[in-house]
Structure 1
Amino acid sequence: MSYPPREPDEPPSPYEPPPSPYGPPGQYGSPAGQGRGTNILAVLSLVFAFAFAPAGIVLGHVAKRQIRRTGEHGDQLATWGLILGYVFTVIGLIACCGWIGLVFWGGSTDGSSYH
C-alpha cells in the first residue's frame, strides 16, 4: 500500500505507519546495517550435541565452514556444539566399553562353581 508524498513540515498521517528500523517492508532479519543472521547449522549443532552427539559434531564442522565462507553469526554456538559433541561422544564410548566389559566379566566363570 502506498501513501501520497507529504510536505517535509507536514505531520505524518495517523494512518501512515511509522518507518521501521528493520528496513523497507519485505526485508526480514536483523536491523539494517547489523550484519547477517545466525547460522542455523550452528544452532542445530548445539542442540544435537545433547540429543545425538555424533550428529552435533558433523553439524558443528559444517557450520564453522559455512560461517567462514558467509560471515554469518554463530561461530561460538558451533564451537560449543563441537566441544559438547566430542565430550558426550567420548563419555558414550567409555560407557559402552564399560558395559561390554561388565558383560564379559560377569559372564565369565572360573569353573569352580559349575561342575
Structure 2
Amino acid sequence: MTDPNEPNRSDVPPPPPAPAPAYGSAPSYGSGTESYGAPASQKTNVLAIVSLVSSFFIPLVGIITGHIALSQIKKTGEQGRGLAIAGLIIGYVLLVVGIIIAIVWFAILGAAISSGNVTTY
C-alpha cells in the first residue's frame, strides 16, 4: 500500500500533462468580446435576388441580372448563387414560352387575315 503523503519516487515517471484544448473549442471567459449568437452569415448578392424576382415579370431582365450576379458572386464569394441560377432558369423558360406564344398568335392572326374573316381598315 502506498502512502499518499509520500513524495514521488524517482523510478516512477510523473503522469503526462493534460493536452491543451483545441483552438476555438473553449471560450475565454471575462473578455467581453465573445459572440454567443449564430455565426455571422455572408451577404447575399443583390442582383441574384433581383434576377429571381424580375424573371417572373420581365424575363429578359432576369436573364441579364442573373448572368451579372453569377459573375459578381464568382469574384466576391457572396451568397446567392442558387438564386441567380433559379432566376436564369425561370427567365429562359418564360422567354421561350413567350416567344412560342407570340409565334402561335401571329400564325393564328395571319391565318385569320388570309381567310378573309378579319376586316382591315
Pick the TM interval, shorter chain.
Answer: 0.5 to 0.7
**Structure 2: stretches of 5+ with no match in the other structure:** 1-29, 117-121
CA distance in 2, matches of 1:20, 1:60: 38
Between Structure 1 and Structure 2, whose CA radius of gyration is higher?
Answer: 2
Q: Which residue of 2 aligns with 1:12?
A: none
Tell me how far apart the structure 1 counterparts of residues 34 and 49 of structure 2 sit (CA, whole Å).
Answer: 28
* Moved segments of 4+, more than 3 Å: 18-22
Task: Report SS of the residue matched to 1:72.
Answer: coil
C-alpha displacement at 1:34, in angstroms? 4.0
The normalised TM-score by structure 2 is 0.63
SS for the counterpart of 1:37 is coil
* Deviation of 1:56 (Å): 0.1
For residue 36 of structure 1, report the CA deviation from its aligned partner. Answer: 2.4
RMSD in angstroms over aligned alpha carbons? 2.5
Q: Deviations over 1:62-95 (max 9, x none)?
A: 0000000000000000000000000000000000
Q: How does 1:47-86 map to 2 (within 5 A)?
A: 47-86=53-92
Q: CA deviation at 1:35?
A: 5.1
* Aligned mates of 1:74, 1:45 — CA distance in 2: 10
Matched, 1:98 2:100: no
Distance 2:89 2:34 in 1: 39
- Identical positions, percent: 39
Find the counterpart in structure 2 of residue 43 from structure 1.
Answer: 49
SS of the residue aligned with 2:42? coil
What is the aligned length? 86
C-alpha displacement of 1:19: 6.9
Counterpart code for 2:86:
W
TM-score normalised by the chain length of structure 1: 0.66
Q: Which runs of 5+ in 1 are unaligned?
A: 1-7, 9-17, 23-30, 111-115
